[in-house]
Amino acid sequence: MRYRIVCIAIIILVMTLLQSCTDIMCLLSGYNPSQIRSELDTPEPGTRLTARSKLVLNHASRYAANPDSVYDTKKNLLTLIKPYVRSAEDINIDAEGYEIPVRLYCNSKDDDLNGLPVILYFHGGGFIWGDIDIFDAYCRKIARETGTIVVSAGYRLAPEHPFPAAVNDAWAVLEWANSNIGDHGGNPGKIIVMGESAGANLAAVVTIMSRDSCGPPVSAQVLCCPVATFREKVFPSRRYFMLEGKTYMISEDYMYRCKESYLPDSIDLSHPYISPLEAEIDNTFPPALVITAQVDPLRDEGRAYADKLEEFGVDVIYREYEGMIHAFMNFYPFLEEGKMAIEEVNRFINKL
């Protein structure tokens, strides 16, 4: 027991040192700090990476072929500093002949398990990659910081399960939470859907479905670096950050691979359950927090979706984090802006 405590103390000390000095992070990672700082300009005038964002990009080996390889790095690093929560329970949700794995996180004492807010979390990965284990540390952090019950959904992935499998799974998890989360100490009247990238698309879609179907109700939506549309649109962020030879976490090849895997050839790309940006919006939609990264091909479609919600009378908070890259919130131990964004989520939920 004493050895474990000492190891944890050492890890905390090392992380504190790393967080306090970017140069130390560079040197320990095998990079020259001066070289890192000389490579921060981006193709878009007026935007620059932070040094730590650049360091994360450098660690994402083979990201031009597989942007999600960056998560392999994240998984290895965060295994050592997995946030503690009082409970992390795996269950399976029955959904018409198959089961959806979910993990429930909560850091509240048993005496406080009564009517807690609930976050339904849908992970990123382009609809073709990811699971609840890979995003375990991040969901633990969200549960700790927000004081909520986090329900992380392991939805089915393409190409084995193309659209609408992931959407159907997300909807099934919402229905389950509405009917059963009270048994786990949650408040079915305060369900927040949250996701990142592809997961943010699912969070936005189930919110639209809730409006279309008159429930189950969604109290709020938190959309982080969302995939808002699959239609071909000339967003400046896509043009600048998917140039040949310049990849900022998401390459053009990878985006098309995800699209081809997830969507059947004959599908209507303007369908609102595929492209939320194309949906009809009204002021009955729940409040939204939309978070984007400045140096991200998906930045402008996230901003466009926030603008559209606001245009039609929805309460929206929009935040763009300068110098950040796609999925930056997952790297909160190394990116201060990731911590700031998580704190933003907490403030948003507390005001509901």
Which conformational region is residue 91 in: left (phi greater than 0), alpha (psi within -120 to 50 degrees), or beta?
beta
179 in active site: no
* Radius of gyration from C-alpha coordinates of the chain: 20
- 59, with CB counted inside 10 A (0-12, 13-18, 19+), is buried
Q: Which residue has the tokens 């939920």?
A: 349
197, 237, 251, 275: the active-site residue: 197
Q: Which residue has the tokens 């929009």?
A: 318
- Within its chain, how far is the Cα of 317 from the centroid? 17
271 in active site: no
Joined together, the tokens standing for residue 176 give 């389950």
326 in active site: yes
136, 169, 296, 300: the active-site residue: 296
* Measured CA distances, 161 to 128, 136, 168 (Å): 9, 23, 11
Residues paired with residue 264 on neighbouring β-strands, in sequence order: none
Q: How many CA atoms lie within 13 A of 3 on its CB side?
A: 0
- 120, with CB counted inside 10 A (0-12, 13-18, 19+), is buried
Residues known to be catalytic: 197, 296, 326
